[in-house]
Amino acid sequence: MEALWIVLGIIVLVAIVGVVSYNRFVSQKNLIRDAWANIDTELRRRYDLIPNLVETVRGYAAHEREVLENVTRARANAASATGSPAEQAAAEGPFVAALRQLFAVVENYPDLKANQNFLALQSELTNTEDRLQTARRFYNANVRDYNQRVKQVPSNVIASLFNFEEEEFFEVDESLRGEAGIPQVNFTGEGPGVSFGESPPPPAQVAGAGDDGVPPPPPTP
């Protein structure tokens, strides 16, 4: 009789552990779904900004037709991508690359860089990029935790029984984004402008130093 109670106790304990693990999987799936919704919201906000940005640039640089068309085409392709996070990321890479090319062209037009409408759009785009990166990191962190549980023992048993499969990360190809990073508004210097990253500071100069920043040797006694 005692052995029967022990067996029943073990069965109940296993059932409780299974229910808890299952419920945690469900919670993680919902969290991932909500995190992806935040990414999608920021992506849509960015897509909505681009037509006005392109038209503003066109007013000052209409002859940069190829660059403007590349941005418009890449934006349309990214906006129409409705597949998995990996497929969405594949569409985002060329779009981000086209945006970087557009802002590189803008550097050649001081009047455009000083245009208040352009600055407002660029500022909103920068803010959107910041929120997007925050949402992306949050989403990927939740996917990583979830995927670990899918593969780890003993939660992998529950994952296998109830078809909880690994989720995809959302990662834009860094080779397309380039090393410079997200476009930033720059209000320093002679006028407002746009940059793609911070340049390394020049080497510290020492009083009396030469062009290479190295002080001259002391005079020979």
Looking at this protein, which amino acid is placed at residue 157? V
> Counting beta carbons within 10 angstroms of the beta carbon of residue 164, is it exposed (0 to 12), middle (13 to 18) or buried (19 or more)?
buried
Query: Which residues are paired to 194 by β-bridges?
Result: 185
Check if CATH label 1.20.1440.20 holds for domain 2-195.
yes
How crowded is the C-beta side of 88, counted as CA atoms within 13 Å?
A: 16
pLDDT digits (tens, 9 = 90+) for 12-38: 888 998 999 999 999 999 999 999 999
Whether the per-residue pLDDT at 158 is higher than 70: the answer is yes
Distance CA 158, CA 146 (A): 13
Tell me whether the omega of the peptide bond preceding residue 203 falls within 30 degrees of 0, making it cis: no
Residue pair 57/68 in contact by the 8 Å Cβ criterion: yes
Whole-model pTM?
Answer: 0.74
Would you list the domain boundaries of the chain?
2-195
pLDDT digits (tens, 9 = 90+) for 52-79: 999 999 999 989 999 999 999 999 999 9
Structure tokens at 80: 């129409």
For range 113-141, the mean pLDDT: 93
The answer for residues whose C-beta is within 8 angstroms of residue 2's C-beta and 6 or more apart is none
Element at 162 (helix H, strand E): none
Distance CA 81, CA 155 (A): 33
Q: Quick check: helix, strand or coil at residue 210?
A: coil
For range 151-172, the mean pLDDT: 92
Say what the alpha-carbon torsion angle 175, 132, 180, 185 is, to the nearest 10 degrees: 150
